[in-house]
Structure 1
Amino acid sequence: MLKDIKVIAFDIDGTLYPDYRLYRKLVFYVLRHAKFYMHFLAVRKILHRTAPLSDFYEYQGRLLAEELGCSVDEARFKIDSIVYKGLTPYLEKTKPFSHVEECFSKIKEAGYRIALLSDFPPSQKGDTWGLLKYCDVVLGSEESGALKPSKYPFGILSLKMNVRPEEILYVGNSIKYDVCGSKNAGMKSALIMSRAEIFFRRLFGKPSRAEDIGTDILFSDYRQFTNLVLQ
């Protein structure tokens, strides 16, 4: 299945670290900015459905300005200070999944090239828990003008890596954004899902196997993923 894969690319948020570790740190921060985040999330929902933009940040600012009833400059300042810069200290202190660096090291040693593609700026995570040294390309989809599941950021990733889409395995934690987005772009996909979520999906009759979800690889921890890739 992976014989033609040359690049393994990873989402960051919820993929390299478990969401709950960040969310529990953010409770009081988000409550302090509750009104802002309510409107910002509404704007991001629109942007996930928007075609590629020549100036993503300007359009995002205009949408938020309409939501908040303020100027575009003020909206962009709020996004920068509350989201991009404001979340950085919390992200840098959030521990990644166990064995992530071990995984990166082994697949790099096996000859795969590694990339990161995230909907939020990778620079928010500092050195991304020591993983940047293994990466050949690091991209924020906002820079491409479109958020996942648009095929556009995945296409930019393919161009940057100088490989065909079908030579990329994209690893994420969202069926809608990561699996569907990468598959629609012609890539193979891998989905990280906790054993608890797999159990409850099975219990309630939701798709819980890779073939039913529509992904090529379904895994729950990074040693398992490493073994699946290198077997």
Structure 2
Amino acid sequence: MLTANIGDIQAVAFDIDGTLYKPLDLHARMMFHFFRFNQFFLQYGIVRSKIHDMGVLDDFYATQAEMLAKRIGCGIDAAKERLERIVYKGLSPFFESIPLCNHVEETFHALHDAGLKIALMSDFPPEQKGGLWGLRKYCDVLLGTETTGALKPSPHPFRVLAEKLGVSPEHILYVGNSVKYDVVGAKDAGMKAAHFEPRWRNLFGMSCRKADISFCDYRQLRKIVLQ
């Protein structure tokens, strides 16, 4: 566990995918869906990878559909339909039975009771996760970065998040499992960053040095923030 002085934290924001639940739990559930549309997901992944580096787009969904249409050889309207059917609505059922990582809900409860604002921000629509496993009642803001026109690690969605929270970036701690997208994006926007890392990184002393906090158990995060 790596800890720096995080100062006066007034809000804690969390990434969703891979941070609140384990990626393997999703992959196991969507395996047959992925293989059914494996070529689509391959091209979709390439498009998303490029969009991550494109900054703020005037019309995110139009650009995404246009890029995907060119890669899979169809019209833009057909690409939009496939995105909705295969990705946005298609993946939604697989989230219903995914268990949260240990001690997530009790951490949200403790942060909420301590008077901290709580937010969720993901590169995918939060509403795709339905009731968000009972965490919605603790949250002040839910934000999908697509609606801001840019994906992480662009600092733009992080700044939009800060505006919606009504809290200056330097008083926000952003929690995520990706160094490239969560830690770097948050730090570039002026926030503090906490990296949710695999336990083996902690055991071998390989914690992320870019993050203000590195943790592998939500009880550690709760203790650090509320100390």
Q: TM-score range by the shorter chain?
A: over 0.9
Q: How far is the alpha carbon of 1:23 from its aligned partner?
A: 0.7
Determine the structure 2 residue equivalent to 1:226. Answer: 222
Give the TM-score, by structure 1 length.
Answer: 0.94
Cα distance, 1:197 vs. partner? 4.1
**Counterpart in 2 of 1:96?**
100
The answer to whether the 8 Å contact 2:197/2:207 transfers is no
Judge which range, 68-77 or 218-227, deviates more. 218-227
Match of 2:79 in 1: 75
Aligned to 1:215: 211
**Percent of aligned positions with the same letter in both sequences?**
48
Structure 1 position 5, deviation (Å) = 1.1
Distance in 2, matches of 1:37 and 1:209, equals: 31
Aligned length: 223
Give the distance between the partners of 2:179 and 2:198, measured in 1 at CA.
13
Stretches of 4+ moved more than 2 A in 1?
196-199
2:42 maps to a residue whose letter is M
Whole-angstrom CA distance in 1 between matches of 2:102 and 2:149: 32
What residue identity is the alignment partner of 1:78?
Answer: R
> Which of 152, 162, 166 is residue 166 of structure 2 equivalent to?
162
* Alignment of 1:140 onto 2:136: no
C-alpha distance in 2, partners of 1:125/1:103?
19
RMSD: 1.1
Spell out the pairing of 1:6-25 with structure 2 (5 A cutoff).
6-25=10-29
Normalization by structure 2: what TM-score?
Answer: 0.95
Structure 1: gaps (5+ residues) = none
Q: What is the distance in 2 between the residues matched to 1:217 and 1:51?
A: 27
Alpha-carbon shift at residue 196 of structure 1 (Å):
2.5
Q: Are 2:69 and 1:65 equivalent residues in the alignment?
A: yes
Find the aligned partners of 2:82 and 2:94 in 1 and give their Cα distance.
17
Q: Is the 8 A contact 2:26 2:98 kept in 1?
A: yes
Could you tell me which residue of structure 1 aligns to residue 39 of structure 2? 35
- The answer for the alignment partner of 2:198 in structure 1 is 194
Aligned residue for 2:221, secondary structure, equals: helix
Other structure's SS at 1:191 match: strand
Match of 1:181 among 180, 185, 202: 185
Q: 1:132, 1:164 → 2: CA distance? A: 22
Which of 116, 122, 144 matches 1:118? Answer: 122
Contact 2:12–2:174, Cα closer than 8 Å, also in 1: yes
Q: Deviations over 1:115-172 (max 9, x none)?
A: 0110000001111000010000100000000000001000100111111110110000
- The one-character-per-residue Cα deviations of 1:80-137 (angstroms, maximum 9, x if unpaired) are 1101100111012111101111000001111110001100000011110000100001
Which of the pair has the greater relative contact order for Cα pairs under 8 Å at 6+ separation? 2
Structure 2: runs of 5 or more not aligned: none
